Amino acid sequence: MKPNLRYWLGAPAFLILLLIPWFFQSTFVLHMHTLIFFYIALTAVWNIPAFGGKLSLGHAAFFGIGAYTATILYVKYGITPWLGLLAALVVSMLGGLVMTLPLIRLRGPFFTLASIAFAEVLRMIAIDWRSLTNGSVGINIPFKPAWINMTFQGGKPFYYMSLILAVGIVWLTYRLKNSALGFHLRAAASDEEAAQALGINTSRAHFIALMWSSGLTGAIGVFYVFYIYVLEPHTIFSLDLFSLQPALNGIIGGMGTISGPVIGAILMTPLGEFLRFYLGTIQQGLNYVVYGLVLIATVKFIPGGIVSLLTPIIKRTPGRKKIPLSGQVEAR
Amino acid sequence: MDLYIQVLVSGLLLGGVYALISVGLNLIFGVVRIINFAHGEMVMIAMYLTFWLHHFSKLDPYVSAIVIMPVMFIFGIVFQRIVVQPILATSATMKIFATVGVSLLLQNLALIAWKGDFRTVQTSYSMSSLEVFDIIVSIPRLVAFSAALLSIIVLYYFLKYTYVGKALRAIVEDHAVARLMGVNVEKHYILAFGMGTMFTALGGVLLMPFSSVYPTVGVTFTLLAFVVVVLGGLGSMSGTFFAGLFIGVVESIGGTFVSPALKEAIYFAIFVLVLLVRPQGLFGKGKGSEEVGLK
């Protein structure tokens, strides 16, 4: 997309989004938008290690660490969630460090498998460590509306907060992708050995990407948990909601691209909510059947995601070839 | 002291079944070189089939294996033809997603069809046990172990001495060269998938008399099977067998002396440790393992 086109499309869209809460009073509209913004942010940060071909299915781990840190600080020690947000960022980065240091050398599928295991371990800890986490019952956040408590009457403040979060994080991933780090990651994704031969410290690049990703995922977790008031280990460390969903959005939109996560989240979040509320009430699990089918179909028919369908239409600038992503473990 | 031997014995018996499930994965993973995230779901399906056959026709779980094994062989072939074959040429990431999709699909189809209840098969021998030198050996676990051991031995000799077995081993080592030697690689992919699924399913059947089945039971088995295969080494059946026993014992010790909830943590630790210290596994063939990320 050419910069001016991006500007002409982006600015009005942003303005419309700013005005939406003043025209639609329905809580459903606000809630749906807020959820979409959350998932845009979550998918975009999930996508940062994916620039380098590292596919995590364990991001619920960082999401949960962040959410738990801020909630425990607030409910048990009365520390404002805004400070908790910083703490969550740091603690989930530490979590990322614990996961990344041993796993950094694992490639492709093994990294993915280990990341799932990591999230499962954390969920077990959250359930088992009752004195700190209140076990599988979870923690309720008391409803005391005030800015300092990050708790609000009505959905507008969270609408704007999540909008800013989404825009900020997408902008950040854009900057990251076009920084030296981004180029290192993309080089590592297309050929790890070749990148190393050119003097790129690929492990370092993967490491930094995962640090960004884990820390920011924890921060998004804080906003999410203060939005829904309830912290419960089975939901917050859920493989389906916070590990698989961002990955699903990313792959359907287009992994390793900037607009992919945005498109994926915009399409999949309403679909997911619709399926959960309509099909899910008819028959529990039916929504995930649809998800599974969508996933298989995407891999089979549009492996580059929806972005790969749109790029030939939008991008007419010749000479800029798309760098293939995650070709490092190509099967012969 | 008796407690320690008791824990060791029950760990070994359980480990036998783990080894069988992982042998199925090793065959699929080694030959077709695909990370099948839906592997545990095959165990799940086999367990449900056992349950329903028992429920409706009062078929003994062990007898039902005669029906379930061919059914799952065909299931494996269909799975390979419909899902795996078309995506063989794509990147490893794409393969992950396709099989994660299948896993999601199967789990939730099971949830829709059979609800989330824990289901167990009640047989006359479910609770029976032997007592040898004060050590209590549960009969269904002993049967499961023996049957698993026997199947692994059969598979081992099949791979070692038959023509098809040799072709499969050749593909594990280098499929390009195997093709040059006149092996029909695609046909053996299908065969390996069918056989792998069949042995995995047998593992599920053997587990049924002493454990319960629910839609998400497979998640743990997927993780477990990969840990065992990585530990034992890609392409090594004996390695997988001993690794399975080892994991069974470790799980049994951890479950008794620390906390049963730590099962996944133990898997995770072993998995990471092996991949870092000895990526080719304890008995691994080594060669070609980098291409699937085993490095």
Residue B122 within any structural domain of the chain = no
Sorted by sequence, the CB contacts under 8 Å of residue B41 that are 6+ apart come out as B102, B103, B106, B107, B110, B218, B222
pLDDT at residue A213, rounded to an integer: 92
B92 contacts A121? CB cut-off 8 A:
no
From A117, A120, A326, residue closest to B91, measured CB to CB: A326
Cα Rg, chain A, nearest whole Å: 20
Interface mutation target, options B91, B115, B290, chain A, most CBs of A under 10 Å = B91
Q: Which residues of A touch B96 (CB under 8 A)?
A: 55, 108-109, 112
Domain range annotation of chain A: 24-314
CA distances to A221, B47, B84, B136 from A41, in Å = 10, 40, 32, 55
Q: Give the pLDDT confidence of B146-171 residue by residue, as tens digits.
A: 888 898 888 888 888 888 888 888 78
Q: What is the mean pLDDT of residues A86-101?
A: 88
Residue B287 within any structural domain of the chain = yes
pLDDT at residue A322, rounded to an integer: 52
Q: What is the CATH number of domain A24-314?
A: 1.10.3470
Q: Give the pLDDT confidence of A267-290 residue by residue, as tens digits.
A: 888 887 787 777 666 666 777 788
Q: Give the pLDDT confidence of A157-177 residue by residue, as tens digits.
A: 888 888 888 889 988 988 888
Structure tokens at B282: 């304890």
* For residue A212, pLDDT beyond 80: yes
Residue B126 within any structural domain of the chain = no
ipTM of the complex: 0.77
pLDDT at residue B222, rounded to an integer: 86
A113 contacts B116? CB cut-off 8 A:
no
Structural domains in chain B (count): 1
Higher pLDDT pick, B184 / A97: A97
pLDDT at residue A91, rounded to an integer: 92
B89 contacts A331? CB cut-off 8 A:
yes
Q: Give the pLDDT confidence of B20-63 residue by residue, as tens digits.
A: 899 888 888 888 878 888 888 989 998 898 888 888 887 888 88
From B106, B108, B275, residue closest to A106, measured CB to CB: B275
The percent of residues in chain B predicted with pLDDT above 90, rounded, is: 1
Contact of B189 with chain A, judged by CB distance below 8 Å, is answered with: no
Q: Which domain holds residue B216?
A: 2-114+134-292
pLDDT at residue B288, rounded to an integer: 46
Q: Which residues of A touch B112 (CB under 8 A)?
A: 283-286, 289
Contact of B87 with chain A, judged by CB distance below 8 Å, is answered with: yes
Residue B160 belongs to a domain with what CATH number? 1.10.3470
pLDDT at residue B290, rounded to an integer: 44
β-sheet bridge partners, residue B132: B135
From B98, B108, B292, residue closest to A296, measured CB to CB: B98
Q: What is the mean pLDDT of residues A49-54?
A: 85
A288 contacts B105? CB cut-off 8 A:
yes
How close A90 gets to chain B, by Cα (Å)?
23
Q: Which residues of B touch A294 (CB under 8 A)?
A: 101
Cα distance between residue A154 and residue A72, in whole Å: 24
Structure tokens at B151: 């199947």
Q: What is the mean pLDDT of residues A92-111?
A: 81
| A302 in Cβ contact with A308 (< 8 Å) | yes
A113 contacts B223? CB cut-off 8 A:
yes
A286 contacts B176? CB cut-off 8 A:
no
How close B175 gets to chain A, by Cα (Å)?
9
Residue B26 within any structural domain of the chain = yes
Q: Which of residues 205-234 of B touch A (CB under 8 A)?
A: 215, 219, 223, 226, 230
From B87, B215, B261, residue closest to A127, measured CB to CB: B261
The percent of residues in chain A predicted with pLDDT above 90, rounded, is: 6
Q: What is the mean pLDDT of residues B116-144?
A: 78
Q: Which residues of A touch B219 (CB under 8 A)?
A: 239
Residue B124 within any structural domain of the chain = no
Q: Which residues of B touch A110 (CB under 8 A)?
A: 230, 275, 293-294
* For residue B208, pLDDT beyond 50: yes
Q: What confidence tier does B295 reach under pLDDT thresholds 50, 70, 90?
A: very low
